[in-house]
Amino acid sequence: MEVTRKSFKDCLNLVYAAIEEADFLAIDGEFSGISDGPSVSALTNGLDTPDERYTKLKKHSMDFLLFQFGLCTFKYDQKDSKYITKTFNFYIFPKPFNRTSPDIKFICQSSSIDFLASQGFDFNKVFCHGIPYLNQEEEAQLREQTEERRSQQANGVGTPSFISPSSKGPAHVPDEHKDFINRVVEKVEALFVGTDKTVDLEPCTGFQRKLIYQTLNWKFPKGLHVETMEIDKKERFIQVSKVDEEEKKKMEQQKLEKEQGQLNDAVGFSRVIHAISKSGKLVVGHNMLLDVMHTIHQFYCPLPEDLQDFKEVTMCVFPRLLDTKLMASTQPFKDLISNTSLAELEKQLNESPFKAPQIEAAEGFPSYNTAKEQLHEAGYDAYITGRCFISMANFLGSFLTPPRAYVSAQSKLVEPFYNKLFLMRIIDIPYLNITGPDLQPKRDNVLYVTFPKEWKTSDLYQLFSAFGNIQVSWMDDTSAFVSLSQTDQVQIAMNTSRYAESYKIQTYAEYVQRKQQEKEKLTPASKSWMEDGWVKSHYAASGASGGFGYSRALRKRSGSPTVAEQGSPEAGDGWSNYSFPDNAGSKKMKTDEVVESKTSEGWLKTSDTKESFGSSPVLEGDGADPVKDTEGTLSWQQASADAAVPARKSQKNKKKKSEAAGASTSLFEVPEVW
Amino acid sequence: MEVTRKSFKDCLNLVYAAIEEADFLAIDGEFSGISDGPSVSALTNGLDTPDERYTKLKKHSMDFLLFQFGLCTFKYDQKDSKYITKTFNFYIFPKPFNRTSPDIKFICQSSSIDFLASQGFDFNKVFCHGIPYLNQEEEAQLREQTEERRSQQANGVGTPSFISPSSKGPAHVPDEHKDFINRVVEKVEALFVGTDKTVDLEPCTGFQRKLIYQTLNWKFPKGLHVETMEIDKKERFIQVSKVDEEEKKKMEQQKLEKEQGQLNDAVGFSRVIHAISKSGKLVVGHNMLLDVMHTIHQFYCPLPEDLQDFKEVTMCVFPRLLDTKLMASTQPFKDLISNTSLAELEKQLNESPFKAPQIEAAEGFPSYNTAKEQLHEAGYDAYITGRCFISMANFLGSFLTPPRAYVSAQSKLVEPFYNKLFLMRIIDIPYLNITGPDLQPKRDNVLYVTFPKEWKTSDLYQLFSAFGNIQVSWMDDTSAFVSLSQTDQVQIAMNTSRYAESYKIQTYAEYVQRKQQEKEKLTPASKSWMEDGWVKSHYAASGASGGFGYSRALRKRSGSPTVAEQGSPEAGDGWSNYSFPDNAGSKKMKTDEVVESKTSEGWLKTSDTKESFGSSPVLEGDGADPVKDTEGTLSWQQASADAAVPARKSQKNKKKKSEAAGASTSLFEVPEVW
């Protein structure tokens, strides 16, 4: 269902109801661009830390506009064993609410626009009929302004821009306006003695309206209702009505309601995000980090500087997230799925060993034909994303004894995938962990090399030619990371470089330490998000605005299993590749003792602690009834060995690959597609 | 006539012909925004110098996209005494030409977009069907790249990104590609012995194509034509044809022509600007400074830092400009026209003492009905602008003895208005003088005041309350210009301020001096545009690109009266308000001895020297035949006294106004509308 400015108000209850009844939600956004800084390849260095990646995306992607938001709600129909979907395609545009509201500027990237154009995207629906929005702060400001103006008009002081210290008592009317004001007074006197109930004054300027409000309030403190009307959003005039006190109250009440209505219209699409947030439902996306960042940035608050703070805000806005690209890149799917781009994923999930899910559109909602692709329409992409999630979730049920054909979005089987957002093109950190510290690969085979700006990749290959295969990740014109295939080569390279003049080598550990020191110099006392009260004060204020309560969301969040208290980190046996920082934000984490694998099959589990999800990597299954969970007894290792034929085949391939690629940097296969 | 990417190539000759036959051209642009920095009011301080204004506009407006360009050509039909118009509405979008071409980012301002949307603007025509463009440098780069690739393919070296030093001799084929390349060789050998004339190889990567080019060139130096083909802009494959030397040459010629064609397609809309430029025709616009800046910036070269350099480039691109807003704000029109916004101007020029011009659309071109306004469609606005110009030009003929009903665009009567672009909202400098130094009002009644950031306008009014009326032009949070009504108050204010601690006052002269010193510190050796050879080298290069010759334009320009040598400045009697700088760029200017007025009626003439136009303010008229000029004998002073009744009436008003407003700052009435 397409939703534009015209239909938004009428659709809103439909949207609320769809969210309310849903088992889970899928979302997708379309943007006016991806990167306004370096090229996408420079934006996504293969050895970025999560902090660095977040900072880059924030800096170079947030000035684009999220201008189409797809929401697809999925409700499971127990009786017919099928999902019922309601798909909404919202067109979004920051139409200025009035002359004092912010005049948003956003960037368009011609390649992105051209790509959407080639997919038949309708830009007129965005720019001419897009739904407006306000973030929490803008909303609070506007409510304040409205409140202020209202109380001033009640006192006859006019709009804020015209406040003068001497506004009490009779209005001071400048000479050039005296005739005009006298004519107005005559008209109103005539209204009192005549039979008409209202009189429309001639259109006039804001200053003149202020004079009228002041004069009439002073001359006729009772018996009048005065209101500014608008013709075609251009001219404004004042309507004066003869009323008794009863009517006056009623009219002022109506005026207030009208203003509240206009205000809600201005908050616009943000109300949908508030509703999603408030519902606490699982929100599924495909490669959704940018979607989440844009959504928060546009409809909640400017993104915080610090990654840890971003994680906190994200958990307030989206208490439960699931990224299907991350899920598809993780065991037991990793071996079965060769290409995790949304279109390819959907195709593969329709074939054995997966099953195409039973899905039907609710009455009055668009029914998508997946054979006829409509990719890159946000609503369709959200639908396909939800579809992929269902297929993968149900597949997890096949590992249970007895197998289950239906696994709900609330199942413990799905929980390990919660709140981990796929990180594009990072060699050894597959995801951003929203509810805990991020993986910290040691990278002890990585060198940080600085050199003259004339150097090219071939110069680096030349320099390290003695070490066999290397991998180069450019930082800028004069520096790059070089990953060696053997960790013990690092010392040899370091020794050799001591006598070099044209280039300089540091170990990755030295590089990180220096960065850390530089950062500490810049921000001597780092405060945590929660400590400095930003969340509390900000959210308390917005909660008071009535539309949406962060405080409620916070309560809800702390009651959910995803943010339960976590223990402190201890290095376990399986930690040769990852370590957690001592200062992992305000959260502490206990490592999971049963983790043994240090290859890619193991990485997801390394961060899923018993405490946080109440589930060990030894899976617990759930039944067809999402409430009554039954126990399962398979681990992924066994599962993939027992899986269908294609799984075995790719298992072999994988082994061969991991032998060829060597030790640590090939833990995670970086996808080619953005 | 609407022109999009689809129809552009077919329309181009029509456009060229229309420009060629025209007496003058009118243009207008629509942009994706106006100001990405401060608000428009902060962007346009009433006491900006032309340098400051240029710098601000360049900084805060050039990241928007000119996405609709209106061109209306006007050709006078002597026989029927009417103008014939051809109107073109070009939709513009920087669609990337290929994967290596620049990925333009541009800003959209929501208020501007919303305004255009409310006027029925079709954004899909821009974003889906806009004509691409390249500036001179991009064009030169692309031609170079194409040339390089071609010479490399001819040598079998493949695309530039795959050059290796060892590319002579048999290609080094990596093991994993050996099978593939062997299969290709087999296929080509089969082609030689078979009856087919061509064989299409399977789609492959760029690297594989390079290997194929290298291998086939080495193995089969004769008898083959090898060409890369594209399927749906996605997959590429190689087509191999069996040819004799004759055919081979022919096919390579065709390939070359195809590439040239694609290149011209990429240069796209810039070719229209080249044609306008080359024609040397008078180009008319309304409030056209931003249009000129955007046009140059987008289709020629990034705007130069320095205003003087901008003027030089402007004269190369548009040798003759005329701004109808400036014309309408100048005598003899100033007194007759109350509102110079395009829509209002057009209405007023249809009524006495003006005459609606006889204009007809050429066959096959849109005929606009001015009663049904289509303002803010660039083509329509260009048409209306040309229409206004004709009415005003013809009105000048009424001052001649005998009066003439038709005054051509080439008439000496019009020349005083050439190359002066209207400056929005500057109190005392009405225009930017493209062909000479700008007016330099003394501003000896102006103070530069710095104060704590808590201060508001009311604090300034308070501070200067003893001096009567003042005018405040805010600079930033802590400084503003304050214009006093009496110059002799300046010294009193300065004396008083000596003992002040919270605020500081400088005279305008002191302020300018300090600014100048700061600037000189930053750029110790300032070179002139011409001296440093930028123009020559840059334009010579672009001239070589074949599409358009700057050198020709320069010759043409120096032959036109507008850029003839100008004398050196001498202070004349009438110069109490304006002075020219000693270092007025590389140009020198002789003041016009007959200038006497220091009010607004005088300002246009102060910069029109006898030398530069071959005409003194004592007007020379021209006949109906634009070639044979006859002499006129009226000056504007006489003219406005003799003008029709409305003129006399407003003349009175003006006197009254100038008495009321006092001395110098009210020289020019600043329009309210952007």
pLDDT tens-digit series, residues A136-167 = 999 998 888 888 877 766 654 444 333 343 44
Number of Cβ within a 10 Å radius of residue A174: 9
Query: Cβ contacts (< 8 Å) between A111 and chain B: which residues?
Result: 96, 103
* Cβ–Cβ below 8 Å for B110 and A117: no
Q: Which residue in B104, B110, B111 is closest to A110 by CB distance?
A: B104
Supply φ then ψ for residue A432, to 5 degrees: -90, 125
- State in Å, rounded, how far the first CA of chain A is from the last one: 27
A417 contacts A326 by C-beta, under 8 angstroms: yes
Which residue of B101, B124, B163 to mutate against A (max A Cβ within 10 Å)? B124
Of A96, A105, A111, the CB nearest to B107: A105
Distances (CA, A) of B461 to B47, B482, B603: 18, 9, 30
The number of C-alpha atoms within 13 Å of A580 and in the hemisphere containing its C-beta is 26
Q: How far is CA B51 from CA B291, B308, B432, B437, B589, in A?
A: 18, 9, 9, 11, 19
Tokens 């929501």 correspond to what residue?
A: B110
Strand partners, B448: B481, B506
Beta strands in B525-596 (DSSP E): none
Give A447's DSSP letter: E
Q: CA of B526: how far to CAs of A650, B509, B517, B579, B586, in Å?
A: 68, 22, 13, 22, 12
Residue whose structure tokens are 């296969």: A669
Structure tokens of A13?
A: 């209850």
Name the packing angle between helices A270-279 and A307-317 (round to 10°).
80
pLDDT higher than 50, residue B238: yes
Q: Is B577 exposed, middle or buried (0-12, 13-18, 19+ CB in 10 A)?
A: buried
Residues of chain B with Cβ-Cβ distance to A123 below 8 Å are: 123-124, 126-128
Question: Above 80 in pLDDT, residue B543?
Answer: no
Contacts of A18 (CB under 8 A, 6+ apart): A73, A86, A88, A362
pLDDT (0 to 100) of residue A176:
77
Which residues in chain A are contacts of B33 at CB distance < 8 A? 105
CA B493 to CA B510: how far, in whole Å?
14
CA distance B38 to chain A (A): 11
CA distance A357 to A83: 8
Q: Which residues in chain B are contacts of A124 at CB distance < 8 A?
A: 117, 122-124
**Searching chain A, which residue's CA lies closest to the CA of residue B36?**
A105
Cα four-point dihedral sign A33, A36, A37, A39: positive
CB A211 within 8 A of CB A176: no
A105 contacts B95? CB cut-off 8 A: no
CA distance B211 to B213: 6
Which residue, chain included where needed, has tokens 């405490």?
Answer: A611
Low-confidence ranges of chain A (pLDDT < 50): 156-168, 526-577, 579-674
Mean pLDDT of B171-184: 82
- Directed axis angle between helix A342-349 and helix A378-397, to 10°? 40
CA A66/CA A116 separation, integer angstroms: 13
Least confident of A634-643, B226-235, B362-371, B556-565: B556-565
pLDDT of residue A578: 54
Give per-residue pLDDT as tens, B296-308: 999 999 999 999 9
Rounded CA-CA distance A79/B519 in Å is 79
Q: Which residues are within 8 A (CB) of B192 and not within 5 positions of it... i.e. 6 or more apart?
A: B223, B242
State whether A124 and B124 contact (CB < 8 Å). yes
Measure the CA–CA gap between B505 and B493, rounded to whole angstroms.
8
Higher pLDDT, A580 or B205: B205
Q: Which of B32-36, B97-101, B242-246 has the lowest mean pLDDT?
A: B97-101
Which single residue is written with the structure tokens 């805990």? A436
Residue B246 — very low, low, confident or very high, per pLDDT cuts 50/70/90? Answer: confident
What is this structure's pTM?
Answer: 0.75
Residue A133: φ, ψ to 5°: -160, 160
**Residue from the list A108, A111, A122 with its beta carbon closest to the beta carbon of B96:** A111
User: Which residue in A has a C-alpha nearest to residue B92's C-alpha?
Assistant: A110
What is the rounded average pLDDT of the residues B355-377?
83
Q: How far is CA B45 from CA A88, A116, B440, in A?
A: 46, 40, 16
The pLDDT confidence band at residue B658, using thresholds 50, 70 and 90, is very low
Identity of the residue in A95, A106, A110 whose CB atom sits nearest the CB atom of B95: A110
Count CB-CB contacts under 10 A for residue B76: 20
Residues in chain A: 674
Out of B105, B123, B127, closest to residue A33 by CB: B105
pLDDT for residue A367 = 83
Residue to mutate among B93, B110, B376, with most A CBs inside 10 A, is B110
Cis-peptide, bond into residue A430, ω within 30° of zero? no
Nearest residue in chain A measured CA to CA from B64: A107
Chain B interface, Cβ < 8 Å to A: 32-33, 36, 65, 93-96, 103-111, 113-114, 116-117, 121-124, 126-128
Q: Of B107, B111, B127, which is closest to A113 when you measure between CB atoms?
A: B127
> How far B32 CA sits from the closest chain A CA (Å)?
10
Phi, psi of A537 (to 5 degrees): -65, -45
Q: Which of B415, B416, B400 lies closest to B624, judged by CA?
A: B400
Nearest CA in chain B to A132: B110
* pLDDT of residue B259 exceeding 50: yes
- Residue B673 pLDDT more than 70? no
For β-strands B470-476 and B479-484, DSSP reports them as antiparallel
Q: Name the token pair of A31.
A: 């943007």
Q: Do B108 and A105 touch (CB under 8 A)?
A: yes
For A46-76, what is each residue's pLDDT tens digit? 889 999 999 999 999 999 999 999 999 999 9
Q: Is the pLDDT of residue B560 over 50?
A: no
| A127:B117 CB<8 A | yes
Q: Minimal Cα–Cα distance from A190 to chain B, Å?
A: 35
CB contact under 8 A, A110 and B128: no
Rounded CA separation A296/A310 (Å): 9
Quote the distance between the C-alpha of residue B115 and its chain's center: 22
Output the pLDDT for position A373: 65
| Residue carrying the six token digits 């109440």 | A614
Interface contact A108-B109, CB threshold 8 A: no
Contact between A108 and B110 using a beta-carbon 8 Å cutoff: no
pLDDT score for A657? 40
Beta-carbon separation of A106 and B106 below 8 A: no
DSSP line for B199-261: EEPPP--HHHHHHHHHHHHHH--SSEEEEEEEETTTEEEEEEEE--HHHHHHHHHHHHHHHHH
Residues contacting B402, CB < 8 A, separation 6+? none
Find the closest chain B residue to A94 by CA distance: B110
Element (DSSP H or E) covering residue A61? helix A50-61
For residue B171, what pLDDT is reported?
Answer: 66
Please give the full DSSP string across A456-476, using - where no structure is assigned: -HHHHHHHTGGG--EEEEEEE
Q: Give the nearest partner residue to A108 out of B108, B114, B122, using CB atoms.
A: B108
List CB contacts (< 8 A) between A127 and chain B. Answer: 113-114, 116-117, 123
Give B314's pLDDT tier (boundaries 50, 70, 90).
very high
Rounded Cα gap, residues B85 and B77, in angstroms: 10
Q: What is the C-alpha separation between A57 and A37, in angstroms, rounded?
A: 10
Å from B107 to nearest chain A CA?
4
| Residue A121 contacts residue B129 (beta carbons within 8 Å) | no
Give the tens place of pLDDT for each residue, B71-117.
999 999 999 999 999 999 999 999 988 777 789 999 999 999 999 99
Q: Are A105 and B104 an interchain contact pair (Cβ–Cβ within 8 Å)?
A: no
Report the alpha-carbon distance of residue A643 to residue A396 in Å, rounded. 11
Maximum C-alpha span of chain B: 104
Q: What is the pLDDT of residue A275?
A: 97
Chain A residue numbers with beta carbons less than 8 Å from the beta carbon of B124 are 117, 122-124
pLDDT digits (tens, 9 = 90+) for B38-75: 676 677 788 899 999 999 999 999 999 999 999 999 99
Q: CA end-to-end span of chain B, whole Å?
A: 27
- What's residue A525's pLDDT? 53
pLDDT for B233: 58
What pLDDT was estimated at residue A86?
Answer: 97
Whether the pLDDT of residue B478 is over 50: the answer is yes
- Measured between beta carbons, which residues in chain A are less than 8 angstroms from residue B138? none
Picking from A670, A673, A674, the residue whose alpha carbon sits closest to that of residue A473 is A670
C-alpha distance from residue A195 to each of A184, A198, A201, A202, A226 (Å):
17, 9, 17, 20, 18
Nearest CA in chain B to A110: B104
Buried b (16+ CB within 10 A) or exposed e, A487-511: eebbeebeeeeeeeeebebbbbeeb
Measured between CB atoms, which of A36, A116, A117 is closest to B105? A36
- Choice among A360-374, B318-332, B357-371 with the minimum mean pLDDT: A360-374
pLDDT for the residue B99: 72
**How far off is chain B from A109, nearest CA to CA, in Å?**
4
Banded pLDDT at B213 (limits 50, 70, 90): confident
B111 Cα to chain A: minimum distance (Å): 6
Helix extents (H) in B222-364:
245-267, 270-279, 289-299, 307-317, 324-328, 342-349
Window from A463-467, A533-537, B357-361, B426-430 with minimum mean pLDDT: A533-537
Number of H helices, E strands in chain A: 24, 17
Q: What is the pLDDT of residue A467?
A: 84
Do the Cβ atoms of B110 and A106 come within 8 Å?
yes
Which chain B residues have a beta carbon less than 8 Å from that of A457? Answer: none
Contact A606, A617 (CB under 8 A): no
Residue whose entry in the numeric block shows the structure tokens 């413990």: A412
A32: chain B residues, CB-CB within 8 Å:
108
Give the SS3 label for residue A487: coil
Looking at chain A, which residue has its C-alpha nearest residue B101? Answer: A111
Cβ-based contacts of B111 with chain A (< 8 Å) = 96, 103
Contact A124 B126 (CB under 8 A): no
One-letter amino acid for residue B544 of the chain: A
Residue B360 DSSP class: E
Place of tokens 């290095």: A571
The residue ranges of DSSP E strands in A362-464, in sequence order, are: 420-422, 431-433, 446-450
CA pair distance B289, B295, nearest whole angstrom: 10
How far apart are the C-alpha atoms of A600 and A407, rounded to whole Å? 25
Is it the case that residue B629 has pLDDT exceeding 50?
no
Best mutation target, B62, B113, B122, to test chain A (most A CBs within 10 A): B113
Q: Which residue has the higher pLDDT, B65 or B553?
A: B65
For residues B332 and B321, give the distance between their C-alpha atoms in angstroms, rounded to a whole number: 19
Mutation target vs A (from B41, B60, B100, B111; most A CBs, 10 A cutoff): B111
| Contact between chains at A106 and B111 (C-beta distance less than 8 A) | no
